[in-house]
Amino acid sequence: MLTNSNSVRNGLGFCRRVAAVSMVFFVLTVTALAQSAEELLQQADAALQKEDYVAAAAVLETYLAGQPENYRAEFNLAFAYSLTGRRAEAIRLYKNVLSREKELTAAHRNLGILLLQEGNAAEAVEHLQFVAGKEPLDVPTHFNLAEALASAGRMQEARETYEKVLQLKPDHVQALLAFAELLAETDTAAAEQQLRRALEIDSSLDDARLRLAGLLEARAAEGADTLEEAAAIYLRHMEGHSDRNDLRRRLGQIYVRQKRFSAAAEQFEAVRTAGDTSGELAEALVQVYLRSEETEKAEALLQVMLGQAQGRAQDDVAGDAERYAEWYLLYGRLQMGKKEHQRAAEAFFQVTKLRSEQVEGYTNLASAFYLLENYGATVKALEKVALLNKDTAGTYFLRAISLDKLRVLDAALENYQRFLELEEGENPDQQFQARERIKVLTLELK
């Protein structure tokens, strides 16, 4: 929905017109009062006409101290309070007026608007519905009622009321925007239609255009071919708002979805240069570097990220342990690809410290140690895998060949056998090696 401030501007503008008419009526019907009381009402009327609501409130307070039964003056005081920030007092006075004049439409209208402003949508609905029933063609009242219904969570009724507003006034831009926001959660295609209608009426609505871009992203997630238009909207907006790094990130995310990884990297780099050093952005940038095969850039950025992580307080590191573990894991794999096995082992060791109960760090660490020909460390790393009950055909084979190298023959034989029990034919070379070593080890053990 639209923000309440828009509703309030519409509602209060209308409220002001109603109150002005009422005030004229109230002044004209004062004939039996004492001269001093009549002068007070004239002063109050003059202050209201000049929109000096503080002065009007002061005069009306004095008047009502001597004439508390005059609900018309009390109505005007409530109105003056509402425009000087004294909403709670205005609400109390309107309710007092309605306790005596239950059918006073203007009081129901003004009270409904104030309750909506104060976040009491459920109670606002009651008063605005009363006005809508009395004035079925009044557009502002129906719009405020739709806002109140939506705020109260009565979405189907809100939808019907927005439709009523647009039947009465098809070019009601604020209703189109609010209706689009209501529809966005359940019917993105209908929401898109409402936003396009609003932009046809007023093409200068930049916020509405950005909301359209967001909807087009959502529509793309549902299978619509709308990402290109969303990207074009963001690019056009950034021509005049180069500081909108939030939109650059959105644009980068769109390029990722389109597999335009170099273009995504360009947007993420611009955001990072502008001062965003968040882990989320860095991770996104690393991923697009890897997907665009810029592994050197990915590695360099990961080194910066890990340096920042190492410089943080221990409590902060504990809070972000999962994230840092992912960074070390990725960095280790990059080092494995470069055959920098020692660096890889150091990175994977950090993973095991940060994720002591997850198997991934230990299996990678074991692989790095094996390639370093440190078979004892390989077996040690695999001990934790067994304790976590996460052994696979691969870990049994790696343990078996490491134990074989260490000449721990009976344990090597057992692990080769366990490997063959679990292996499903995906690694025929390893199967052949395991069978041959089982034959040899069996003879040796005899």
> 417: Cβ–Cβ under 8 A, 6 or more apart, which residues?
438
Buried b (16+ CB within 10 A) or exposed e, 194-215: bbebbbeeeeebeebbbbbbbb
If pLDDT is split at 50, 70 and 90, which confidence band does 78 have?
very high
The pLDDT score that the predictor gives to residue 12 is 30
The answer to whether residue 26 scores a pLDDT higher than 70 is: no
Residue spans of the domains in the chain: they are 1-152, 391-446
If pLDDT is split at 50, 70 and 90, which confidence band does 316 have?
low
The answer to whether residue 189 scores a pLDDT higher than 90 is: yes
The pLDDT score that the predictor gives to residue 21 is 27
Q: Please count the other Cβ atoms lying within 10 Å of the Cβ belonging to residue 379.
A: 21
Q: Can you tell me which residue has the tokens 């929109």?
A: 51
- Can you tell me the mean pLDDT for 177-204? 96
If pLDDT is split at 50, 70 and 90, which confidence band does 304 have?
very high
Note every long-range contact of 431-437, with CB atoms under 8 Å and residues 24 or more positions apart, other chains counting.
433/401, 434/397, 434/400, 437/400, 437/401, 437/404, 437/412, 437/413
Condensed to tens digits (0 to 9), the pLDDT of residues 98-112 reads 999 999 999 999 999
Distance CA 56, CA 123 (A): 28
Q: Is 287 helix (H, G, I), strand (E, B) or coil?
A: helix
CATH class entry, domain 1-152:
mainly alpha
Q: Please count the other Cβ atoms lying within 10 Å of the Cβ belonging to residue 21.
A: 10
Sign of CA dihedral 18, 21, 27, 32: negative
- Can you tell me the mean pLDDT for 338-354? 96
Which one-letter amino acid corresponds to residue 18? V
The residue count for the chain: 446
The CB-side HSE value for 390 (13 A sphere, CA atoms) comes to 14
The pLDDT score that the predictor gives to residue 36 is 86
CB 219 within 8 A of CB 192: yes
- Can you tell me the mean pLDDT for 433-444? 95
pTM of full prediction above 0.95: no
Distance CA 26, CA 436 (A): 108
